[in-house]
Structure 1
Amino acid sequence: MRIRNALTALGLLSTLAITGCSTTAEENRKTAALTPSAAEAAPAKVETAQIFSDAYGPVTDAGYTLPAIPIQKVNPKFQRQIVEYASSEKPGTIIVNTHDRFLYYILPNGKAMRYGIGVGKEGFAWAGEAHVAWKQAWPSWHPPKEMAARKPEVAKYVENGMGPSISNPLGARAMYLFNDKGQDTLFRIHGTPEWASIGTAASSGCIRMMNQDVIDLYERVRPGKSAKVIVQQS
């Protein structure tokens, strides 16, 4: 039944522009799983130290089965890898370069874990510093009212949301960014079932990652002021 429901949702999503940003973050926050995970340290812009091309097989997680990604169809530069990356930021900092379609998770000793990303139009609308205030596994999706006005078929999800599934536009994980005043930036780092959108300027959404990658990043991030995020637009 779960697979059949997921396929039905996937058929719906193919008729609309997927978005990962929502104006109802507070409602989701009430049910978010906030158990922090210790940030991992491992060796990572100019020279690749290690590439994880074998990390995109099928994944069973919380009762959901993510399909394998045909990683040979993804440009190697957008596959998860540890790279040399000179930065004055502390390990654990996330730097999003929307122009180059990369997300860097800073590691010790001048390295970073680099992930390929897709950037939706909302992702190009904001730049600056924030922090991961909270994160959620298998989040519900609430499309903005503006989207529902354009796509009546998703209007039913504005209030009640689309439940977790392998076709949910937020993917397997979502991380919610707030500013230093505790205000929601409405900027999200999230998964996506549309792996082919990685490395592109997507039609909508914030910062998309392949589901296998967003799960990896999620496990490294400890929500709070120390989970600094810098978004660069150039």
Structure 2
Amino acid sequence: MMRLVTLFTALALGLAACGNNSQPMTLATPSVPEAYQARVDTGPNGEPVQIPAIRAAYLTERNQRQQVPYNGPEAPGTIVVDPYARVLYHVQPGGQAMRYGVAVGRAGTGYAGTATIARKAAWPSWRPTDNMIRTQPDLYAQFAGGLSGGLHNPLGPRALYLYEGGRDTYYRIHGTMDPSSVGKATSAGCIRLFNQDIMDLFGQVSNGTTVHVRSQAESLRYEGPMTETPEGYVEPAGQPSVPAGAAALAPTAAAYPATSMVTDPYAVTTISTPYSAPVTTISPVESAVQ
């Protein structure tokens, strides 16, 4: 060990001796916008909870919260979810909308129509359905008692629950423990936002807010055909940033991966969660503890 230290020291001194008097070179690091910096929130038991910053690598142009022109027919105040273009709009006055990037699981394309937010929950708890436990006990039996709210919970720090005609649609707009998934199609979940974004949206809307979830045909009408990049994101077809040869896709719910291994962005270990094993028929967030 001492030999290695001595070698590295010698190398460092040698490089310094070979240098000139100019300022040392520093490598530029991508900056994280203020909206996505770390913050402290009040946890489920009143305790302070640190919300980690989002890594700059996950903040693509389409993923970042931003105000954009809006061409849909919905009234200001409406939330519009487009699971095929993988964006969510909060419609504003004057033909504008605040756009958020989202991750879309199978359950995210299992519903289309107009519903209302009937329930909002901060640090929601979660429990798999009885059917999920019965059909996949190896995966879900360990969560039969439910998961309390916290950063370990697949719903994240906030959740919005959609109801139609007084009935639960089992459609959720919520946070995520896996920010690397935002902008992509995943094997599990409904509509997931960066934790900072769901917290922002949560504070902007109230119970009774109208939520319209676009169909595939509506997505194509208002967003146009999309191209999936090798990294798993989507871009408008023909956009220069898309690598040459990538296939242009009309928005489609197909091609969801059979598995989704979640690597905890807040550590260097892989965590075992409902997202870390194959989910082929049913979303692990279709039921939250009421």
Q: Give 2:36's match in structure 1, choosing from 44, 52, 56.
A: 56
1:133-186 C-alpha deviation (Å, 9 max, x unpaired) = 11000000112334334252532423x31011112100010000000x200001
Higher strand fraction (1 or 2): 1
In the alignment, structure 1 residue 79 sits paired with structure 2 residue 59: no
- Check whether the contact 1:120–1:203 (CA below 8 A) recurs between aligned residues: yes
Q: CA deviation at 1:66?
A: 1.2
Structure 1: tracts of 5 or more residues without a match: 1-51
> 2: CA distance between counterparts of 1:155 and 1:133?
29
In the alignment, structure 1 residue 163 sits paired with structure 2 residue 148: yes
The secondary structure found in structure 2 opposite 1:192 is: coil
Partner of 1:142: 127
- Check whether the contact 2:104–2:191 (CA below 8 A) recurs between aligned residues: yes
Q: Give 2:182's match in structure 1, choosing from 198, 205, 208.
A: 198
Q: Give 1:212's match in structure 2, choosing from 192, 196, 207.
A: 196
1:198-219 C-alpha deviation (Å, 9 max, x unpaired) = 1111111101111000000000
Q: CA deviation at 1:57?
A: 1.0
TM-score between the two structures when normalised by the length of structure 2:
0.59
For structure 1, which segment, 136-145 or 85-94, has the greater mean C-alpha deviation from structure 2 after superposition? 85-94
Bigger Rg, structure 1 or 2: 2
Q: Name the structure, 1 or 2, with higher relative contact order (CA <8 Å, separation 6+).
A: 1
**Root mean square deviation of aligned Cα:** 1.6
| % same residue | 43
Q: CA deviation at 1:87?
A: 3.2
Partner of 1:45: none
Aligned residues: 179
> 2: CA distance between counterparts of 1:53 and 1:186?
33
| Alignment CA distance shift 1:115-1:151 (3 Å) | farther
- Check whether the contact 1:105–1:113 (CA below 8 A) recurs between aligned residues: yes
Structure 2: tracts of 5 or more residues without a match: 1-31, 43-47, 217-290
> 2: CA distance between counterparts of 1:55 and 1:71?
12
TM-score between the two structures when normalised by the length of structure 1:
0.72
